[in-house]
Amino acid sequence: MSIVINSIQFHRAGSRSTFPLALSYGTQSVILPEWTPDRTNPALGPVSFLASPEERCITVSFSRTNPGFTAIEVQALDADYANVCGYVEPQQVNFGSESDFVTLALRLTGGVRDRIAAHHDTLLWQWKNAGDSNWTDIRKTHHSCYTVLASPGPPWGDDQPLWVEVLEAIGPWVDGCGTSEKMQDAVTSRLYSLGEPPHAVLHHFGVAQYVNQTTFDCEHLLQTLGSRDFGQNIECQDTASAVATFANAFGGRLFVNQIERASTKPVRQIGDTVFAPQAWGFHEVARFHYGELSDDDPIWDAFLRLQSRAPEGELPASIHLQDYKARFCRGRCSPAQCMIHRGLGKVIPSPAEGGMAQSRYPRIESAIERASSRDPWFLWRPVPIGDLLRDWSIQNSWVLASENSELNGSDNYLRKKGSDADPLLRIGITLHVSAAIALSCLRGLLPLFSIEPIEYNLGDCAFGLPDKQAIAFVRGNALIQVTNAGPATESILSYADGIDRLLTARESAGIGIREEQGSPSPIELPIDLPPDAGEGPVWYRLLPDNGTIYADRGRLYYAAKTTGEQLVTVYRHRGAAVDVRPVSFPVE
């Protein structure tokens, strides 16, 4: 080969058409130049352009193997006719008389410059002697290229280069958007849609899972979105931070804004199927403002839908704050005057880590730690809560005032038969990917208590208010919350205990504590759990004899504690009937 490409560099300091990126959730910088002959994997050298008419230039190093070539022409064709970066028109390259190497800037032509886009670009490099008519191929080079609308906004910047993982995960949501408003609408719509049944990934919880006061755990949320596990909780602080952080990655300029004393008109929270009024101490949205704060500022809220003439309601996206307050607030509410950006960092451990955040109540923490040492059962195949509760004896005096479509929903209300009063009891049942995460979320409720809660003998671990007006407990991978929701209150311990007995269903579901003796690699659980065959809602409870069951990407996995023969008892529930089937399999 007479002409060799030694390196290709797209980004350079001070560029007005590109900006730096980071790999592995910000832990690795992209090495420059992005392409060399020994580093040809496009994933290791991603490039991001701004959607602007600014000139795009790349720096390319060539070498010659024939000293007779002094003046040549090179070009780079768009091999797929779809490149984001564009192509290189014929340009002259002059080698000096004393060197076989030359580095020069080449101008890129065409490419995507008016909208958000992503593509694995291919450039076909060619050369010829000056004055010749025939081109000779040098090689093809491959590049992961992205176009965003403008330079990324906070928290992204010089000290926090934009993560490639954000471009990869959120790029398909906003692909083709040519304005920041459309892009921000798309982020809001797509995030809320992840809570839509019947295959909801996210649902509201009451406690922020990815946010603390100043930090947003973007890495954890991206992992959740990538795995699409069921039972992932989210709260308004999480959605507001996610919308702002994701939108700003593609050129947005959104802040997080807090609305105080948020008593609402009927809204449909993420993961719910019904509209209901809410009473929150505050609520957070993503907001744009320029200069002085104004009621004309647009906001984006991926946590809820507002009631409208359409049965599904309206998602608040690009809606003026004044209009939003009129349709959202019941009574007086006021947005805070401060606008914040949360930095990036760890808030709670990811599902793979299975740890738990700290709190101020060590006695309850110890109870949660003890529960974490057990081998709990695992609940699978969410079912309508109405069907789950239908055979419950409490239904003799209570009826469902409203319900979600699946057990994996959130708020469901019970009221006494013959009563027209507001719903009296609120029941929330949330499934998680593992018992460890369910216990982590239980611990996440502790900051809501202004006084130390009382520990109750319920489930794997339970605590609540001293007057038994609110109780939360974990049984296996399920987190259950029972609270008074109406003007009249009463002790709810017996109702919480009834739900726990309903879930465990059989005396033989005893859960013991076992010592860990080894750690074989997790395997996909070799158990066939057929879906509902038209004979009524079916759900399963699995009790491992020697290991832990968890979910990942819609599949069940088994982590044995010792090698050898394993036993999992499968309880198949259909209405009041329960079938029991032991399944054994080896683990090497």
Residue ranges covered by each domain of the chain: 3-148, 162-344, 362-509, 523-587
| Yes or no: domain 362-509 corresponds to CATH 3.40.91 | no
CA angle 268/273/277 to nearest 5° reads: 35
User: How do residues 451-494 score in pLDDT, each as one tens digit?
Assistant: 778 899 888 999 988 877 789 999 888 888 888 776 667 778 88
- Quote the CA–CA distance of 158 and 48 in Å, as a whole number: 14
Phi/psi zone of residue 396: left (φ > 0), alpha (ψ -120 to 50 degrees), beta?
alpha
Both tokens assigned to 210: 């990815």
CATH for 162-344 (3.10.620, 3.30.420, 3.40.1130, 3.40.50): 3.10.620
Residues 35/67, Cβ–Cβ less than 8 Å: no
Both tokens assigned to 56: 């795009």
Both tokens assigned to 574: 């259909």
pTM of the model: 0.68
Both tokens assigned to 415: 């009221």
Residues 3/62, Cβ–Cβ less than 8 Å: yes
CATH architecture for residues 3-148: Sandwich (2.60)
Residues of the chain by 3-state class (helix, strand, coil), percent to 5: 20, 35, 45
Which residue's structure tokens are 């979105």?
225
The pLDDT score that the predictor gives to residue 548 is 85
Q: Is the pLDDT of residue 355 over 50?
A: no
Name the amino acid, one letter, at 326.
A
The pLDDT score that the predictor gives to residue 304 is 95
Lowest mean pLDDT among 49-63, 338-352, 367-381, 392-406: 392-406
- Quote the CA–CA distance of 68 and 97 in Å, as a whole number: 9
- 253 closest CA partner among 180, 357, 310, 325: 180
User: How do residues 58-104 score in pLDDT, each as one tens digit?
Assistant: 999 999 988 888 889 999 999 999 999 999 999 999 987 778 889 99
Query: Average pLDDT in the 418-434 region?
Result: 70
- 544 closest CA partner among 584, 516, 573: 584
Query: Average pLDDT in the 330-338 region?
Result: 71
CA angle 352/475/468 to nearest 5° reads: 125
| Residue 299: strand, helix, or coil | strand
List Cβ neighbours of 152 (8 Å cut-off, separation of 6 or more).
19, 162, 248, 249, 250, 251
Query: Average pLDDT in the 565-570 region?
Result: 89
- 303 closest CA partner among 347, 249, 262: 262
- Quote the CA–CA distance of 315 and 203 in Å, as a whole number: 16
Residues 368/553, Cβ–Cβ less than 8 Å: no
